Structures are given as structure tokens and as C-alpha cells.
Structure 1
């Protein structure tokens, strides 16, 4: 294994990041470890380290819905392998992660031996899955279609779309990104066009296809009785 691999760890739990960093430092040869606690800091980290060797990504990434952060990374930084590291170990979730371009799936309950094997495989450009998991496709057509559409968004459009998904209004998004409201409106026009929708509500419903549990997310959203605008 090469010396000094650059690895970005994207997880919102500081204790887990700290534990993972300790394991990586013991198991790898002087790794350069970059931490990100949410989607915005992940975007910043990847932009600053475009030659990173590996991204370790938790699916519960604040600021991104379900598999959307994975879709973003594999679309804009296809040269950097992304391994999902998650406490959710259901075969369906693992296979969906692979459908969206992950180079592997490492359960948080994995042994040190399995973690080392997974990292070695990923850093060597190989796929790695837990024992007993095959690569049978699991994502449905609607999910794959919205992933393809999201992949066409620019990084800034993706960030705006993620904020829309969190319920922020244009003026709030403009404030957060330090741009004008007119700029956000222009981004929204492009987001709607690329997603094939005509309203914020339709955009949120479309992006819900990438949730960990799409049906529950859609039902919860629709229960609010929000009209399509």
C-alpha cells in the first residue's frame, strides 16, 4: 500500500471520526486524513484535495438527502473512489450504494481485519463488499433517473437544491451562500430544467427518491398536505 494516502472522512459524528482516524493511522502508512462533518464541509474538502485517494462517506450526511451526496461525488469527482461507511447494513441499501457508484460498503460494525481489507482494496482501485453481498442491482428506475438528473447539476446548483430540500426559501439560501436572490432564482430555473420539474415541491418529491427509505420520506412529505406549486 502506498505511503501517505489522502483520505477524506465524511461523517457527522465527531467520536466516530476520531475513532476511524485512529484506526486509519494504525493500519495505513502515514495517511493524510481530512475530516468533514456535513455536506458543505465535504464539498470544501474535496475541492481542496482533488487528488485524494479515497473518500469514506456516511449516508447520514447533514445537508444531503440519502444517496445524493454519493451521487454528487461520483458525478463530479469520478477519479476519487468513494466507500460508504454506514451503520445501516441491509443488503438492499448496500446494493443501492453500489448502483450509485460506490467502490464498496464498509459496515460500521466491521472488524479491524475487514476494515483493513476494505481500505486496501479501495486504495488499489478494487471493489469491496461485505461477505454474502452480491452486486445485484437494487435501485429502481425512478431512483436512477433522478440520480442521473442530479449528476447534471453544477456543484453550486447541487448545494442550492440541497437547501431547497431542507425547506429554505430563496432569500435564506442567498444569505447562506452570500449571493443575490436573483442568482438563486437563476439557479432554481436551471435546477427545475435539469430535474424536469416545475416547482420547489416537485423538486423535493423528486429528490426524495434518493432517500434511504423513499416511501417513508414521500409519505411524511405528502402528509403535510403541501400543494404542488
Structure 2
């Protein structure tokens, strides 16, 4: 390919990230490859790089709660093609990934030839999902839309909430007042359609892997 692509590899495992880096170089010569090892690092990269052609996303990274990380990214960057690369290869996971707006799914168990073929396919503008792993009849879940309605700061608060942090601990981590966190909580509960912290955490578990 003559065109220069900017591709982000988001994975918190250095060995796999390095292997993927090498594979992408083989598939796309001259690509501008960037790396992120957490959800926060990824969002910072995306803020700095407005013209990313493809995001290769691991679902299980620090700061991202399974599918909710994908949902939030789709909401914040609707035009960015996101291909999930995951060790979770069950049909239910692949189906959710597609329903939540990913452009493709590449199993981590893929051999080099399959990986390169998949990358070339998505860069050519065609989605890639392994045959037989997507259940087209599975009902979509409006929870994804509710999560997507959260602002980036509210999403961060929700993630810390699911980790069991108290309001004052979240306020300390985000360098804001406890009153600000309480205001975020009220907005989060309203958007998610829940009444308290416990219900919010239970709801979020539906998007966990």
C-alpha cells in the first residue's frame, strides 16, 4: 500500500503489543504506528492525533470495563474505525462487539497470515468478523446507548465507582471537590436509569467480560 496510515495499538500486554506492532508493519508498510497501554493513555493519544485511520483495541485494559470502553470510544469518536483484538473469542463476545459499533474483530489466536489479511481488509474499508462467530439474531442492548450518553468525566467516575471507590476517594483521584462528584453521580444515575451506586455497578457488569 502506498498510502500512509496512522494506526493505534491499544493493549496493556507489552509482549503481545510488540508482536502486533511487527505484524502491522508487515501488513502495512510505512504505517505510522502508535501505542497505548491503558484507556487513559489511549484517550490522550486520540486527543493529540486527530487523523487516526484505525484503532486496534484490546477489551481488557486498565481504565476500561469490558465493552463499556468500546461503547465510550464509539460515542466520542464516531468516525474512527475500531477493530477489537481479544483473547475472548466466544460468539456472544464477538456479537456484542459488532452490535456496539466495532468495525471488526480479530482473535488473538490468529496466525500471522490471517492477521495480515484481516488488517488489509479493514484498511480497504470492509469490516472483518470471523465466520460463524456473529449471532445476527441476538437482540441489541440499549444499555450501550445509556453508557454512551455519559460524558468522558462521568464515564471515569463510573469506572472508579465500579472499582469500589468512595466519593471522597474519586474526588481525590480526579482533583475535584466531593460536591462535584456527587453532581456527577446524580447525572450518571439519571442517564443509566438507576437509583443508587449498587444498581449502577450491577448494570455495568452487563458490559463486563
Q: What SS is found at the alignment partner of 1:210?
A: coil
Q: How many angstroms apart in 1 are the aligned matches of 2:182 and 2:123?
A: 41
Q: Where does residue 109 of structure 1 map in the other structure?
A: 109
Q: How many angstroms apart in 2 are the aligned matches of 1:178 and 1:88?
A: 35
Q: How many angstroms apart in 2 are the aligned matches of 1:97 and 1:148?
A: 14
User: How many residues matched?
Assistant: 209
Q: How many angstroms apart in 2 are the aligned matches of 1:150 and 1:186?
A: 17
CA RMSD of superposed structures (Å): 1.6
**Residue 205 (structure 1) aligned with residue 199 (structure 2):** no
Q: Where does residue 17 of structure 1 map in the other structure?
A: 17
* Structure 1: runs of 5 or more not aligned: 213-229
The alignment's TM-score, normalised by the length of structure 1, stands at: 0.85
* Structure 2: runs of 5 or more not aligned: none
The alignment's TM-score, normalised by the length of structure 2, stands at: 0.93
Q: How many angstroms apart in 2 are the aligned matches of 1:137 and 1:155?
A: 31
Q: Where does residue 36 of structure 1 map in the other structure?
A: 36
Q: What SS is found at the alignment partner of 2:18?
A: helix
Q: How many angstroms apart in 1 are the aligned matches of 2:191 and 2:128?
A: 33
Q: What SS is found at the alignment partner of 1:184?
A: helix
Do the aligned partners of 2:7 and 2:55 also contact (CA within 8 Å) in 1? yes
**Residue 70 (structure 1) aligned with residue 70 (structure 2):** yes
User: How far has the Cα of 1:196 moved from its partner?
Assistant: 0.9
Q: How many angstroms apart in 2 are the aligned matches of 1:90 and 1:97?
A: 11
Cα separation, partners in 2 of 1:137 and 1:53, compared to 1, 3 Å? farther
Cα separation, partners in 2 of 1:2 and 1:123, compared to 1, 3 Å? farther
